[in-house]
Amino acid sequence: FCAVKMGLRVVQDFDGSFDLAPDSRKLLWDMLRSEAFSNQLSAEMKLRDDMKLEFAEILFQPVPYSSNTPKGMPKHIEPYYSNPDQFVIVHVPPNYMFSAKIFKPSRLCAVFRKVGA
């Protein structure tokens, strides 16, 4: 019998900043703003028929969990997370990132605003 002891590495500071090439940014924005994607998300979120989701033009890179970032997101994003009646946070689909030629960072999240009719 062999016991393996594994420890967690605590990340004190993580730089979640990133830059997107203008063409990549425009293509990704267009996909996230599309009515088809909004309708798909609205259906998955089981929103009322008179509500829809609209891209709030806020992207962020998920960050490692730490004492400074207990929700796995930058601090300035937490108010959106804490307000689920008005906002939804979703992972950007990998095929969207690939289509927009975004490889770094490897994951992004987008903030969507709930809007009523």
Mean pLDDT of 52-62: 94
Q: How far is Cα 111 from Cα 73, in angstroms, rounded to an integer?
A: 12
In the Cβ-directed half-sphere of 76, how many Cα atoms lie within 13 Å?
Answer: 6
**14, pLDDT greater than 70:** no
* pLDDT tens digit sequence for 65-107: 877 888 888 889 999 999 999 999 999 999 999 999 999 898 9
- pTM value > 0.75: yes
**Burial degree of 29 (CB within 10 A; 0-12, 13-18, 19+):** middle
